[in-house]
Amino acid sequence: MNEALILVLAGVAGTGLGAIFFGSLWWTVRRGASSRRPALWFFGSALLRISIILAGFYFVSDRHWDRLLACLLGLVIARFLVTRFAGPPGEPHNSPVNEAGHAP
């Protein structure tokens, strides 16, 4: 298989892993904030999310550093996408940011 195609697929896999990681982090924060045992939610979620990411990186990289780097780049891209579309709680999704005007 073409090496460039493999790197692109590793990046796509990293983006998928990142979407799972940061999406489940967002879900955990929303769920854990209203739970009676938030420490259990956060610890269990962190352990599961890190395990999924490490296993995914291990299988995608297949002992190639360039594939691992492409997967990591995909994870960073997913972070920006999830934080862009999830937004802070209480605000409508995908709304433009209202910036304060400059001082006169």
Closest CA to 49 of 77, 26, 73, 76: 26
d(CA 33, CA 76): 25
d(CA 98, CA 38): 32
Q: Establish how many alpha carbons lie within 13 A of residue 46's alpha carbon, considering only the half-sphere containing its beta carbon.
A: 8
Q: What is the pLDDT of residue 90?
A: 59
Tens of pLDDT along the chain (104 residues) come to: 688 898 899 999 999 999 999 888 888 888 888 888 888 889 999 999 999 999 999 999 888 899 999 999 999 999 988 888 776 655 554 445 555 666 65
Q: What is the pLDDT of residue 38?
A: 85
